[in-house]
């Protein structure tokens, strides 16, 4: 047993036969998955396909869900939800520091997401995009080894979303956490992730490595091929005629 | 301006009318000092009717008679001691009720065992009109101060408990999840999420409790007391002194108004984060 090499080679997230069911309906049916440390993974699937269930299982948030299987995840895990989930009674900086301390690190994190100077603002005073940036800052301040994001940009307008994509990618490059991004947006997955998984019928149906340099453009024709494959895996056929 | 109108008129004559504002359906801007207008008008009517001799002074004495009686009672009578006695009862009853309401609500809201033990019991207590407990409490505690304080405490703790407990139970589950994700300890969770989240509900209960404490006080002092404002008014009734009764009512009114304003002031301070919502 060589603990050091073991640590280097061991994946950040490791699922073996992960099964979860709700009210007799099996949502996850024996999922096997390894996410190496530092990899940016997107998880696609129809609504109801169990992608949020998988993320919540990895986050350890599925208290009363029936299930079995093996699950290992790092010590420091952060979650970004679809809503910013800022506590309305705490100022932005205090929200970022929820559960940790270190005011300077909080300020740094806010500056990183472009919210320097808004430390004393109330969450109600932020726009949707700003609130989500604050939520990103809150997840970063803990220096997570794994960042779980459950449709974090789903509630944002298209322009804000594009800006947030660039920001997330940049933050990932700087901090190098493993990322598991749950999304229903194929383009978002292709533009951001290095590996895209499609969840179907409770298992990983497609595991696609996207080997294109960053920053990626939606107009990159080579990404179109990945897009095609993912849409087919999702059961959507595009009518180009 | 005219140039624009002409161009538009040439292009589409029907559309060229200026945009007319819609008829406003909301009541519009508030009058200055709106809340004082009604009471002041009422006072003026009362004064005018008294001056014109249209009111029986034995039933409704003139405002100035009430003021004079009040001043007399203050300097030469027992009014200051009566006020102090009444304030003391209300304050101790309120303080005990406040503490009990908050503690019980926390215990019931934060643990399932606490909920099982407390919630049903409090609701049972609520079903019994508290003033109906007076005879029993006199038997138990005697007719002194402790029974009065106990009744006021019960009147106060019920709305505080109910509203605080409802607010605790209604805390957004998403915030609980957030606390789990952020790895908050149970204590930090209660302090940083549960208590601030329940504060709006608590303040609703607090204001109801403040009102309740005065209500309980009036009833207790008028039937079972030998001192205090209510006793003063009760005596005045025996001697037909309507001006003294009115003085008592004015003092009660001032108490109620001041305490409610104080509760609201604290609420505004503590919940300052909410102001951004309404502005």
Mean pLDDT across chain A, nearest whole number? 89
Residue A190 has pLDDT above 70, yes or no: yes
Q: Is A79 on the interface with B (CB under 8 A)?
A: yes
Q: Is A98 on the interface with B (CB under 8 A)?
A: yes
Query: Could you tell me the pLDDT band of residue B278, with boundaries at 50, 70 and 90?
Result: very low
Query: Could you tell me the pLDDT band of residue A236, with boundaries at 50, 70 and 90?
Result: confident
Length of chain A equals: 241
Q: Which residues of chain B does A60 touch, with a Cβ-Cβ cutoff of 8 Å? A: 180
Q: Which residues of chain B does A98 touch, with a Cβ-Cβ cutoff of 8 Å? A: 178-179, 182, 184, 192
Residue B277 has pLDDT above 70, yes or no: no
What are B3-61's pLDDT values in tens digits? 444 444 455 555 567 888 888 888 877 787 878 889 899 999 999 999 999 888 888 99
Query: Could you tell me the pLDDT band of residue A66, with boundaries at 50, 70 and 90?
Result: confident
Please give the distance of CA B257 from its chain centroid, rounded to a whole number: 8
Among B192, B274, B277, beta carbon nearest to A98: B192
What are B224-261's pLDDT values in tens digits? 788 889 899 999 999 999 999 999 999 998 998 899 99
* Contacts with A61 (C-beta within 8 Å, 6 or more apart), sequence order: A79, B177, B180, B181
Q: Is A82 on the interface with B (CB under 8 A)?
A: no
What was the pLDDT predicted at A239? 60
What was the pLDDT predicted at B18? 80
Q: Which of A61-65, B6-10, B67-71, B204-208 has the lowest mean pLDDT?
A: B6-10
Among A89, A122, A125, beta carbon nearest to B196: A89
Among B182, B271, B277, beta carbon nearest to A98: B182
CB contact under 8 A, B193 and A87: yes
Mean pLDDT across chain B, nearest whole number? 88
Alpha-carbon distance of A185 to B115, in angstroms, equals 44
Which of A98, A135, A146 is the best substitution to test chain B (most B C-beta atoms within 10 A)? A98
What was the pLDDT predicted at A179? 96
List of domains in chain B = 56-270 (1.10.3720.10)
What was the pLDDT predicted at B5? 47
What was the pLDDT predicted at A102? 87
**Which strands, in side-by-side order, build the sheet including A25-35?**
A25-35, A13-22, A66-72
ipTM: 0.88
Q: Which residues of chain A does B178 touch, with a Cβ-Cβ cutoff of 8 Å? A: 81, 85, 87, 98
Among A83, A100, A142, beta carbon nearest to B174: A83
* Contacts with B55 (C-beta within 8 Å, 6 or more apart), sequence order: B46, B49, B62
CA distance B22 to chain A (A): 30
What are B132-167's pLDDT values in tens digits? 999 999 999 988 889 999 999 999 999 999 999 999
Which of A52, A57, A59, A87 is the best substitution to test chain B (most B C-beta atoms within 10 A)? A87
Read off the pLDDT of each residue in B78-87 and give the average, rounded to a whole number: 91
Residue A41 has pLDDT above 90, yes or no: yes
What was the pLDDT predicted at B223? 77
CB contact under 8 A, A61 and B181: yes
Residue B176 has pLDDT above 60, yes or no: yes
* Contacts with A31 (C-beta within 8 Å, 6 or more apart), sequence order: A15, A17, A18, A19, A54, A69, A199, A202, A203, A204
Residue A43 has pLDDT above 60, yes or no: yes
Cβ atoms of residues B173 and B142 within 8 Å: no
CB contact under 8 A, A61 and B199: no
């Amino acid at each position: 047993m060589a603990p050091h090499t073991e640590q280097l080679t061991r994946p950040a997230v490791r699922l073996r036969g992960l099964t979860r069911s709700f009210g007799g309906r099996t949502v996850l049916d024996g999922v096997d998955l390894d996410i190496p440390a530092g990899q940016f993974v997107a998880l696609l699937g129809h609504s109801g396909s169990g992608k949020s269930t998988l993320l919540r299982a990895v986050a350890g948030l599925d208290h009363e869900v029936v299930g079995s299987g093996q699950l290992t995840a790092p010590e420091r895990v952060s979650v970004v939800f679809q809503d910013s989930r800022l506590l309305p009674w705490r100022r932005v900086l205090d929200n970022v520091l929820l559960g940790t301390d270190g005011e300077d690190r909080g300020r740094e994190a806010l500056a990183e997401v472009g919210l320097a100077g808004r430390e004393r603002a109330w969450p109600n005073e932020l726009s949707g995009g700003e609130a989500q940036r604050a939520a990103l800052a809150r997840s970063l301040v803990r220096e997570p080894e794994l960042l779980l994001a459950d449709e974090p940009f789903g509630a944002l307008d298209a322009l804000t979303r594009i800006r947030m994509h660039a920001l997330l990618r940049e933050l990932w490059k700087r901090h190098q956490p493993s990322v598991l991004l749950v999304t229903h947006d194929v383009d978002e997955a292709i533009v951001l992730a290095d590996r895209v998984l499609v969840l179907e019928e409770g298992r990983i149906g497609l595991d696609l490595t996207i080997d294109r340099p960053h920053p990626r453009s939606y107009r990159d024709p080579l990404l179109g091929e990945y897009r095609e494959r993912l849409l087919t895996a999702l059961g959507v056929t595009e009518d180009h005629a | 301006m005219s140039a624009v109108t002409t161009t538009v008129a040439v292009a589409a004559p029907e559309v060229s009318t200026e945009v007319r504002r819609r008829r406003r359906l909301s009541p519009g801007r508030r009058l200055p000092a709106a809340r004082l207008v009604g009471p002041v008008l009422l006072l003026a009517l009362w004064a005018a009717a008294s001056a014109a001799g249209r009111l029986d002074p034995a039933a409704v004495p003139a405002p100035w008679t009430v003021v004079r009686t009040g001043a007399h009672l203050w300097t030469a009578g027992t009014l200051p001691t009566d006020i102090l006695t009444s304030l003391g009862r209300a304050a101790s009853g309120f303080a005990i009720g406040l503490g009990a309401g908050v503690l019980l609500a926390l215990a019931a809201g934060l643990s399932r065992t606490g909920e099982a033990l407390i919630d049903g019991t409090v609701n049972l207590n609520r079903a019994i009109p508290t003033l109906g407990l007076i005879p029993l409490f006199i038997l138990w505690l005697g007719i002194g101060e402790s029974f009065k304080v106990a009744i006021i405490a019960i009147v106060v703790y019920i709305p505080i408990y109910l509203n605080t407990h409802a607010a605790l139970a209604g805390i957004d589950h998403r915030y609980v999840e957030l606390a789990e994700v952020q790895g908050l300890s149970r204590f930090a969770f209660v302090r940083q999420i549960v208590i601030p989240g329940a504060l709006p509900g608590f303040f609703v209960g607090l204001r109801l409790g403040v009102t309740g404490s005065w209500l309980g006080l009036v009833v207790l002092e008028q039937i079972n007391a030998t001192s205090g404002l209510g006793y003063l008014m009760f005596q005045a009734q025996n001697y037909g002194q309507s001006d003294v009764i009115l003085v008592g009512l004015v003092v009660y009114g001032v108490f109620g108004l001041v305490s409610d304003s104080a509760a609201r002031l604290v609420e505004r301070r503590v919940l300052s984060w909410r102001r951004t919502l309404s502005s």
